[in-house]
Amino acid sequence: MSGYSFDFFYVLNGFSRLLQGLIVSLELTAIVVGIGTFSGFVLALATSSRSLFLSVPTRLFVEIFRCTPALIQIVWFFYCLPVLADVFWPPFTMGVIALTLNLTAFNSEAYRAAIQAIPAAQRDASIALGLSRWHQAIHVVFPQVLRIASPVLVSNSISLFQQSSLVAIVSVEDLMYQGKLLAVQTYRPIETFTIVALIYFGLSFPISQLVGRIERYNARLLA
């Protein structure tokens, strides 16, 4: 042991601030996951399109977001977008935009694999039933790929929840941001960040355990 004596007193005094921050983190995550779960599907349709006008730019988009650090994406939106596009939105909005695009890109890859798993015969049947391409996408393909891809979608969403802590850099007052403030004010960074980490873990772990259950349920239904 290093001999460090833990003292959680001051940190626990500031616990309500951490909770406020947590609410911001959860809001951010909920909005981003809510949008990204659907937009990832739409993007996957575009990337698997036979039209090069659709597939090439959208694949490029996906690769840009997959191959650059999320931290840079957030910082870029916060500092560069206002200059380039002359828009000044609050940090929270910028965070939502950057993380939504990031999650959309990752989710679209999960959906793309799932779309390929759907038998072509279902497409024929949909046409024979007179369903439009959009109806087919929404009522036939989406409900199935949502299930097939759900293990990956859930773990993407958990990662997103962790990565949402990066928005603290651009002063969104999330859990991480409040944690940093508290650490400085209490001079107790070890205790503070331990608690912050426990909060992230406590919320993420149960959800990650859902993945196995979802897989078993899907295997039964889509057999």
Residues near another protein (CB under 8 A) are 119, 121-122, 124-125, 127-132, 135, 139-140, 143-144, 147, 220-223
Give the nearer residue to another protein in terms of CB position, either 37 or 165.
37
Give the nearer residue to another protein in terms of CB position, either 17 or 123.
123
CB 27, min distance to another protein, A: 31
CB 146, min distance to another protein, A: 9
Give the nearer residue to another protein in terms of CB position, either 19 or 125.
125
Long-range contact set of residues 34-37: C-beta below 8 Å, sequence gap at least 24: 35/100, 35/104, 36/100, 36/103, 36/104, 36/107, 36/156, 36/157, 36/160, 37/107, 37/146, 37/153, 37/157
CB 127, min distance to another protein, A: 6
Contact 155, 109 (CB under 8 A): no
CB 143, min distance to another protein, A: 5
Contact 140, 122 (CB under 8 A): yes
Give the nearer residue to another protein in terms of CB position, either 35 or 146.
146
